[in-house]
Structure 1
Amino acid sequence: MHNPDTLTLDLHRVLEALLADRLVDANDSLRVLQHAAEHPVDHPLEQIAACALDNRKCPGQPLDLDHLCQWLAGKVGQPYLRIDPLQLNLPQVSGLVSPAFARRHGILIVAADALSVTVASAQPYQDDWQADLARSLGRKVLRAVASPAHIRECGQSFQRLAQSVKGAQTQQSTSLGELEQWLEAGRRHTDANADDAHIVHIVDWLLLYALEQRASDIHLEPRRDQGHLRYRIDGLLHAVYSFPAGVSLALVSRLKHLAGMDVAQKRRPQDGRLHSRLPSGEAVELRLSTLPTSFGEKLVLRLFDPQRLHESFEQLGLQAQQLAQWQTLLGQRQGIILVTGPTGSGKTSTLYASLNYLATPQVNLCTIEDPVERIEPAFNQFQVQHGLGLGFSEGVRAMLRQDPDIIMIGEIRDRETALVAVQAALTGHLVLSTLHTNDACATIIRLQELGVADYLIKATLVGVMAQRLVRTVCRRCQPNASAACRTCRGTGFWGRTGLFELLVPSERLKAMIGPGTDLADLRRQALADGLIDLRRAAEAKLASGHTVEQEVLRACN
Structure 2
Amino acid sequence: MFANASQDLDLNRLLDALLAEQRIAACDALKVLERARQHPDEHPLELIAALALADPLHPGQHLGLDALCHWLADQVGQPFLHIDPLQVDLAQVASLMSAAFAERHGILAVALDDSSVTVASAQPYRRDWEADLNHSLGKRVQRVLASPRQIRQLTPTFFGLAHSLRGAGQPPAPGLSELEQLLELGASQAQAGAEDQNVVRIVDWMLQYAIEQRASDIHLEPRRELGHLRLRIDGLLYPVYAFPAGIALAMVSRLKHLGRMNVAEKRRPQDGRLKSRLPDGAQIELRLSTLPTPFGEKLVLRLFDPQLRHETLEHLGLEAPLLVQWKALLQRRQGILLVTGPTGSGKTSTLYASLRHLATPQVNLCSIEDPIERLEPAINQLQVQPGLGLGFADGVRALLRQDPDIIMIGEIRDQETAQVAVQAALTGHLVLSTLHTDDACAAITRLQELKVADYLIRATLLGVMAQRLVRTLCPSCQGMEHTDRPACQTCRGSGFHGRTGLFELLRVGSALRQRITPGADLEALRQQAAADGLHDLRRCGRRLAEQRLTSLDEVLRVCG
Q: Is 1:215 the counterpart of 2:204 in the alignment?
A: no
Q: Is 1:539 the counterpart of 2:528 in the alignment?
A: no
Distance 2:261 2:308 in 1: 26
Distance 2:60 2:355 in 1: 41
Question: Alpha-carbon deviations, 1:196-215, whole Å to 9, x = none?
Answer: 11111111111111111111
Partner of 1:530: 533
Give SS of 1:366's match.
strand
Give SS of 2:243's match.
strand
- Percent identity, aligned pairs only, is 66
Question: Alpha-carbon deviations, 1:21-44, whole Å to 9, x = none?
Answer: 111120110111112221111110
Distance 2:239 2:494 in 1: 15
Question: Alpha-carbon deviations, 1:384-410, whole Å to 9, x = none?
Answer: 111111100001011111100000000
Question: Alpha-carbon deviations, 1:422-467, whole Å to 9, x = none?
Answer: 0000000000000000000000000000000000000000000000
* Cα drift, residue 94 of structure 1: 2.2
Give SS of 1:184's match.
coil
Distance 1:475 1:405 in 2: 43
Partner of 1:175: none
Q: Is 1:286 the counterpart of 2:286 in the alignment?
A: yes
User: Which stretch shifts more, 293-302 or 308-317?
Assistant: 308-317
Partner of 1:516: 519
Partner of 2:299: 299
Contact 1:82 1:490 in 2 (8 A): no
Q: Is 1:99 the counterpart of 2:102 in the alignment?
A: no
For 1:452-471, list aligned pairs within 5 A: 452-471=452-471
Give SS of 2:310's match.
coil
Give SS of 2:431's match.
strand
Name the aligned partner's letter for residue 499 of structure 1. L
* Cα drift, residue 481 of structure 1: 7.1
Distance 2:367 2:499 in 1: 26
Q: Is 1:482 the counterpart of 2:471 in the alignment?
A: no
Give SS of 2:475's match.
coil
Question: Alpha-carbon deviations, 1:213-242, whole Å to 9, x = none?
Answer: 111111110011111111111111111111
Contact 1:91 1:242 in 2 (8 A): no
Query: Structure 1 regions of 5+ residues with no counterpart?
Result: 173-178
TM-score, normalised relative to structure 2: 0.94
For 1:338-417, list aligned pairs within 5 A: 338-417=338-417
Distance 1:139 1:503 in 2: 64
* Cα drift, residue 505 of structure 1: 1.4
* Cα drift, residue 308 of structure 1: 2.2
Distance 1:481 1:378 in 2: 50
Distance 2:243 2:455 in 1: 57
- Judged with a 3 Å threshold, the aligned counterparts in structure 2 of structure 1 residues 408 and 186 are, in CA distance, closer, same or farther, namely closer
Taking only aligned residues, the RMSD between alpha carbons, in angstroms, comes to: 1.7
Contact 2:313 2:357 in 1 (8 A): no
Question: Alpha-carbon deviations, 1:452-499, whole Å to 9, x = none?
Answer: 000000000000000000111223332747264444444432211000
* Cα drift, residue 159 of structure 1: 1.2
For 1:239-254, list aligned pairs within 5 A: 239-254=239-254
Distance 2:445 2:63 in 1: 57
Question: Alpha-carbon deviations, 1:37-80, whole Å to 9, x = none?
Answer: 21111110000000101122443332101110000000001111
Q: How many residues of Structure 1 are paired with residues of Structure 2 in the alignment?
A: 543
Name the aligned partner's letter for residue 482 of structure 1. D
For 1:223-262, list aligned pairs within 5 A: 223-262=223-262
Distance 1:59 1:432 in 2: 48
Name the aligned partner's letter for residue 516 of structure 1. G
Give SS of 2:202's match.
helix
User: Which stretch shifts more, 84-93 or 159-168?
Assistant: 84-93
Question: Alpha-carbon deviations, 1:99-155, whole Å to 9, x = none?
Answer: 111111111111111111111111111111112112211211111111111111112
Q: Is 1:199 the counterpart of 2:190 in the alignment?
A: no
User: Which stretch shifts more, 103-112 or 307-316?
Assistant: 307-316
Distance 1:351 1:144 in 2: 48
Partner of 2:39: 39
TM-score, normalised relative to structure 1: 0.95
Query: Structure 2 regions of 5+ residues with no counterpart?
Result: 178-191
